[in-house]
Amino acid sequence: MRYIVTGCAGFIGSNFVDSLLAMGHNVIGIDNFSTGQEEFLETALDNPRFKLIETDLLDLRGLKRAMDGGEIVIHLAANADVRFGTDNPRKDLEQNTIATHNVLEAMRVNGIRKVAFSSTGSVYGEASVIPTPEDGPFPVQTSFYGASKAAGEGLISAYCEGFGFQAWIFRFVSVLGERYTHGHVFDFYKKLSDDPANLHVLGNGHQKKSYIYVQDCVDAILLAMEKSSDRVNIFNLGYPGYIEVNDSIEYICNGLSLNPRLKYEGGERGWIGDNPFIYLDVSKIQNLGWKPKTSIKEAIIKTLRWLQSNEWVFEARK
Amino acid sequence: MRYIVTGCAGFIGSNFVDSLLAMGHNVIGIDNFSTGQEEFLETALDNPRFKLIETDLLDLRGLKRAMDGGEIVIHLAANADVRFGTDNPRKDLEQNTIATHNVLEAMRVNGIRKVAFSSTGSVYGEASVIPTPEDGPFPVQTSFYGASKAAGEGLISAYCEGFGFQAWIFRFVSVLGERYTHGHVFDFYKKLSDDPANLHVLGNGHQKKSYIYVQDCVDAILLAMEKSSDRVNIFNLGYPGYIEVNDSIEYICNGLSLNPRLKYEGGERGWIGDNPFIYLDVSKIQNLGWKPKTSIKEAIIKTLRWLQSNEWVFEARK
C-alpha cells in the first residue's frame, strides 16, 4: 500500500514510518519541520520506498500536490503540547483543527478515503466515568488542545458521512519511547541535567497518568485498521493501568542514580487545562487482540536511555 | 446591561435584539449581512439604545473594535443551513468554528467574559438515546454543520476553563416564527407559490421534527442565563414533543387552502447528513421553569402568516 504519514518527522510519525517501511509499504512522509527532526528519518531516507515532502498542512495547495498517489493517510501532525493552549489559543485551532480540515480536503481531491487520526484522551475533559470508555458521557472540553482534537474528530466523521470516507480515530494517553521530545520525562531529565540536586515538579506528584510505549501505539493503530471496518472506528489507546507522577520520578531518579530534593508547585493540577487523571477504558482495542508489550516503567526507562544517547534533542527543541 | 448580539440581522438575532431592547438593555448588533436583513432591524434602528456595526466575524481586528464596551455576548451568527455542508465543507468551518474562535478572542481582549451560544441538536449526530439528554453518549458527528457547532462548543468551554469565561450553550432544534428565512416551511411555501398543484417533499415525510417558536427560544436563553450559573451551562432547547414532516405539510396546505399532489423523494433522509429524528430531552431547561407558550402547529401557522405578509424575503434570499 502507499501510505501518507503527516508529521512524519515527529516522535510517533517517524516510528510509524519505520514500521510501515519494514512491512514493505511505500510511504510519502509530510512534515513542516516546525518540531519534527530530520534525524528521526535517517533510516527512512535511505529507503527508496520513502519519499519526504516538506510542506505545511496549512498550505492546502501544497498539501493537495503532496498527497497525489497516496491510498491511506496516517494523520499525526499536530500541535501536541496540551500545556500552552492559553499562551496562543489560535495555535491549536490552526494546527489541529484547520490543518485536519485541509488533510481531508486534500484526500478528497486525490480520491483517498481512508484516514487514521491521532486524537487524545484530553477530548474527555474531566471525565465523569473512569476508566473512560469511547462512548462515555458527552464531554465538556477543558483544554484548547482537547477542543481542537475533538473538532478534528468531528470533521473527520462528517467527511465519512458526507463523502464516504472511512476513519480510525485514536484517543491517546501520553506516549513514551524513542524520539520522544516533549512531556514530563523530557522535562524531568532536562531539569536534572541542569541541577541534579533539586527537582521542581508541576502539581503535587499524585497526578495519575497512563502512558503507552510508542511501538505498542503503532501496533495498535495498524491492528485496528486491519480488523475494524466500520465507517468511523473510534478507539481509546492507553496502558491498561496507571502510575503516579511520583512513581515516574522514582523510576527516572533511580535510572539516573540521583536523589534530588523534590519541590512541588501548583497544587492538584500542573497547569491550566491539566487533567488530574486521564485513564481510558481500552477494552475495545484489547478485544481486537491488542496487548501492550511494554510496561509503563519499561517505557519510562527506554525513554530515559534514548534521551541519554540523544542529548542533541534538547538543543533542537529549545 | 450592554449586550452584543452577533448575527443581529438574522432570524433569531433580530428577535433577540428586539426582546433585549424591550427589556431596557443596550445592544450592540453585529452582522455582515450575508444572510441578515436590515428590514429585520427596523424597530431596533429607531431605538437610541441600539448600535449596529456591519463587520464580518472573520475580520478579527474589526470584531475587536466592534465589541468594545460590551458586557455579555449573544453569539448567534452562523452558517445556519445544515443541508449544504458537502457543497462547501469549508463554509461551516469558517463561519461556525473559526468565527466563534474570533468572537472569543475579541471578548478576551475586551474583558468580556459571558457568552451565550446557539449550538444545535445536530451535534448529537444520530443519537442512540432519544429523547437525547445533554450528557448522552459521546456522539459521532454526521454533518459538517453539527461538527462545526460542536467545535464551537469545545472552543467556548476551553475559554471558560482557560480564561475564566462563563458560557451558556444551547442546542437547538429548528426554530420557527417571524423573520424565518430558511427551512422546510420556507421551502414548502415557496414551492406551493410556484406550483400550487404539486409539492415535492425531500424524504419520505415521516421524518420526525421537534420545532420551537422563536420567542420561546429567546425566553429560554434569557431564563437560563439568569438562573443557571455554572461555568459552562449546556441546555437542549426544543419543543417537548414532535410532529412528522407530513403533519407540517398538512398544516401548511390547510393554512393556504391548498390540496397539492405530494411527491416524495430521497427515501428516509431528505439530504446527506439529514438526521431522521432530532428529539431532545428538554427537562433540564424545563426544570428552570421554562415552558413553551406556542405549540409546533401554532408556530408553523405563525411562520406561514409572516411569510405571506413578507414575500420580499424570497427575493432577498435568492
What does the alpha-carbon distance between residue A177 and residue A25 come to, in Å, rounded to a whole number?
23
d(CA B230, nearest CA chain A) in Å: 12
For chain B, residues with pLDDT lower than 50 are none
Whose cell is 534521551? That residue is A307
Residue B163 with chain A: CB contacts under 8 Å: 86
Amino acid letter for position B291: K
Q: Which residue of B has its CA nearest to A271?
A: B162
Q: How many other CB atoms are found less than 10 A from the CB of residue A267?
A: 10
Question: Which pLDDT does position A25 carry in this prediction?
Answer: 98
Phi first, then psi: what are they for A281, rounded to 5°? -75, 110
Question: Which pLDDT does position B10 carry in this prediction?
Answer: 97
A36-50, A132-146, B262-276, B284-298: which has the minimum mean pLDDT? B262-276
- Mean pLDDT over A10-25 rounds to 98
Q: Does the distance separating the beta carbons of B139 and A136 come in below 8 Å?
A: no
DSSP label at B69? T
Residue A147 with chain B: CB contacts under 8 Å: 151, 154-155, 157-158
Helix (H, G, I), strand (E, B) or coil at A38: helix
- When computed from its CA atoms, the radius of gyration of chain A, rounded to whole angstroms, is 19
Please state which CATH number belongs to domain B176-209+241-316. Answer: 3.90.25.10
| Candidate from B90, B157, B272 with C-beta closest to A147 | B157
Q: What kind of architecture, by CATH, is found in domain A2-175+212-237? A: 3-Layer(aba) Sandwich (3.40)
- Mean pLDDT over A222-235 rounds to 98
Q: Does the distance separating the beta carbons of A162 and B144 come in below 8 Å?
A: yes
Q: Does the distance separating the beta carbons of B159 and A143 come in below 8 Å?
A: no
Q: Does the distance separating the beta carbons of B159 and A154 come in below 8 Å?
A: no
Whose cell is 493517510? That residue is A73
Nearest 5°: the CA angle B155, B156, B158 is: 65
| Candidate from A137, A153, A161 with C-beta closest to B273 | A161
pLDDT, tens digit (0-9, with 9 covering 90-100), for A96-109: 999 999 999 999 99
Q: Which residues neighbour A131 within 8 Å (Cβ) at sequence distance 6 or greater?
A: A279, A280, A281, A282
Whose cell is 511501538? That residue is A215
Question: Which pLDDT does position A84 carry in this prediction?
Answer: 67
What does the alpha-carbon distance between residue A144 and residue B100 come to, in Å, rounded to a whole number?
13
Question: Which pLDDT does position A316 carry in this prediction?
Answer: 78
Question: Which pLDDT does position B234 carry in this prediction?
Answer: 98
* E-only strand ranges, chain A: 2-6, 26-31, 50-54, 72-75, 114-120, 166-172, 175-176, 198-202, 208-209, 212-213, 232-237, 243-244, 261-265, 277-278
Q: Does the distance separating the beta carbons of A90 and B105 come in below 8 Å?
A: yes
Q: Does the distance separating the beta carbons of B136 and A147 come in below 8 Å?
A: no
| H helical segments located in chain B | 11-22, 42-45, 60-66, 89-92, 99-110, 144-163, 184-194, 214-227, 245-255, 283-286, 296-309, 312-316
Cis peptide upstream of residue B131 (ω within 30 degrees of 0): yes
- When computed from its CA atoms, the radius of gyration of chain B, rounded to whole angstroms, is 19
Residue B146 with chain A: CB contacts under 8 Å: 154, 158
* E-only strand ranges, A129-249: 166-172, 175-176, 198-202, 208-209, 212-213, 232-237, 243-244
Best mutation target among A90, A93, A230, A280 (most B Cβ atoms within 10 Å) is A93
Best mutation target among A60, A83, A88, A101 (most B Cβ atoms within 10 Å) is A101
Q: Does the distance separating the beta carbons of A147 and B151 come in below 8 Å?
A: yes
Residue A148 with chain B: CB contacts under 8 Å: 154
- pTM (two decimals): 0.94
In percent, the amount of chain A with pLDDT more than 70 equals 96
pLDDT, tens digit (0-9, with 9 covering 90-100), for A254-312: 999 999 999 998 776 665 555 567 899 999 999 999 999 999 999 999 999 999 999 99
Residue B271 with chain A: CB contacts under 8 Å: none
Report how far apart the first and last C-alpha atoms of chain A are (Å, whole number). Answer: 37
Q: Which residue of A has its CA nearest to B86?
A: A162
Within this chain, domains A2-175+212-237 and A176-209+241-316 share the same CATH topology: no
B116 bridge partner residues: B74, B168
Q: Does the distance separating the beta carbons of A137 and B146 come in below 8 Å?
A: no
Residue A167 with chain B: CB contacts under 8 Å: none
Residue A105 with chain B: CB contacts under 8 Å: 89-90
Q: B204 near B269, Cβ under 8 Å?
A: no
Q: How many other CB atoms are found less than 10 A from the CB of residue B99?
A: 26
Domain coordinates of chain B in residue numbers? 2-175+212-237, 176-209+241-316
Q: Does the distance separating the beta carbons of A85 and B105 come in below 8 Å?
A: no
Whose cell is 481542537? That residue is A148
Q: A77 near A17, Cβ under 8 Å?
A: no
Q: Which of A62, A64, A58, A90 is nearest to A77 (CA)?
A: A58
Helix (H, G, I), strand (E, B) or coil at A227: helix
| Candidate from A86, A124, A155 with C-beta closest to B163 | A86
What does the alpha-carbon distance between residue A230 and residue A227 come to, in Å, rounded to a whole number?
10
Helix (H, G, I), strand (E, B) or coil at A19: helix
- ipTM value: 0.93
A203: left (phi over 0), alpha (psi -120 to 50) or beta: left
Residue B147 with chain A: CB contacts under 8 Å: 151, 154-155, 157-158
Which residues of A fall below an 8 Å CB-CB distance to B?
A: 85-86, 89-90, 93, 97-98, 101, 104-105, 124-125, 134-144, 146-148, 150-151, 153-155, 157-159, 161-163, 232, 234, 272-273
What does the alpha-carbon distance between residue A311 and residue A181 come to, in Å, rounded to a whole number?
10
Q: How confident is the model at residue A317 (pLDDT cuts 50, 70, 90)?
A: low
Residue A136 with chain B: CB contacts under 8 Å: 137-138
Q: Can you count the helices (H) and strands (E) in chain B?
A: 12, 14
Q: Which of A186, A212, A309, A286 is nearest to A15 (CA)?
A: A212
Question: Which pLDDT does position B25 carry in this prediction?
Answer: 98
| Candidate from A98, A139, A273 with C-beta closest to B138 | A139
